[in-house]
Amino acid sequence: MSVLTRFRDIMSSNINALLDKAEDPEKMIDQCLRNLNSDLGKVKSETATIMAEEQRAKRVLDECNEDITKMQSYAVKALEANNEADARKFLEQKTSLTSKQAGLQEAYDLAHANATHMREMHSKLVDDINELESRRDMIKGKLAVAKTQERINHMGSSVSSANDSIASFKKYEDLADKALDKANAMAELNRCSSEQSIEDLTKKYSTDSCVDDELAALKASLNK
């Protein structure tokens, strides 16, 4: 497994762990991004150090190659000047430099590979952070919608409770109407009963004047 892949897996597991424990997802998302930016700063610093090492290794290798070329040139000039001893010294120095060249080339190749790897890691982390920052707004939008839905659900429960209360109120109103109707009916019956009693009592003490007159006439005729 490459270092870059391992680093990405660690970052992913850290983010998931934070989100799993999140009491406030919005705050935890922001904290994740702060942590990632902090890690990015460390990666950037390490990348700069490794790139500097690459540049140093390249400079040392280039200097060695230049010196080898110079020794070869000086050896040729010494021979042209019929100074074989000096030419030998230049060639000996060239041989010494050439023996170092292989090690310097190997060191540079390794430094270059490390620097390339760190640059890739840095670029990947920057891209991931940019993607997460763009997704952060989307996630916060979803959380806002979820909170709104929760409030709506809560209000739905309240409305259901209110409907039950309204239904109960209507039932009690119907009972009150029935009680009032019954009371009015009883009052009507009582009123009718009272009026009938007065009428009957009046008739008891009332006499028919026509009958009285006829009775008096009959008595008068008999007396005669």
| Residue 183 identity (one-letter amino acid) | A
Handedness of CA 174, 176, 182, 187 (dihedral sign): negative
CB 119 within 8 A of CB 48: no
The 3-state secondary structure of the chain reads: CCHHHHHHHHHHHHHHHHHHCCCCHHHHHHHHHHHHHHHHHHHHHHHHHHHHHHHHHHHHHHHHHHHHHHHHHHHHHHHHCCCHHHHHHHHHHHHHHHHHHHHHHHHHHHHHHHHHHHHHHHHHHHHHHHHHHHHHHHHHHHHHHHHHHHHHHHHHHHHHHHHHHHHHHHHHHHHHHHHHHHHHHHHHHHHHHHHHHHHHHHHHCCCCHHHHHHHHHHHHHHHC
User: What is the CATH architecture assignment of 3-170?
Assistant: Orthogonal Bundle (1.10)
List the chain pLDDT tens, one digit each, 224 residues.
454 555 555 555 555 555 555 567 777 777 878 888 888 888 888 889 999 999 999 999 999 999 999 999 999 999 999 999 999 999 999 999 999 999 999 999 999 999 999 888 888 888 888 888 877 777 777 777 767 777 777 776 665 666 666 676 677 677 777 877 777 777 777 665 555 555 665 665 565 566 677 777 777 778 75
Rg of the chain in Å (alpha carbons): 57
List the structure tokens of 159.
């409305």
Domain ranges of the chain: 3-170
User: Tokens representing 105?
Assistant: 């080339």
pLDDT at position 33, please? 80
Q: Which pLDDT value is given to residue 1?
A: 46
- Contact assessment for residue 113 and residue 53, using Cβ atoms and an 8 Å cutoff: no
Q: Are 125 and 26 in contact (CB under 8 A)?
A: no
Distance separating alpha carbons of residues 47 and 125, to the nearest angstrom: 12
Integer Cα distance of 223 and 220 in angstroms: 5
Instruction: Quote the CA–CA distance of 50 and 54 in Å, as a whole number.
Output: 6
Q: Map tokens 């922001």 to a residue.
A: 30
Rounded (5°) CA angle 201-204-205: 100
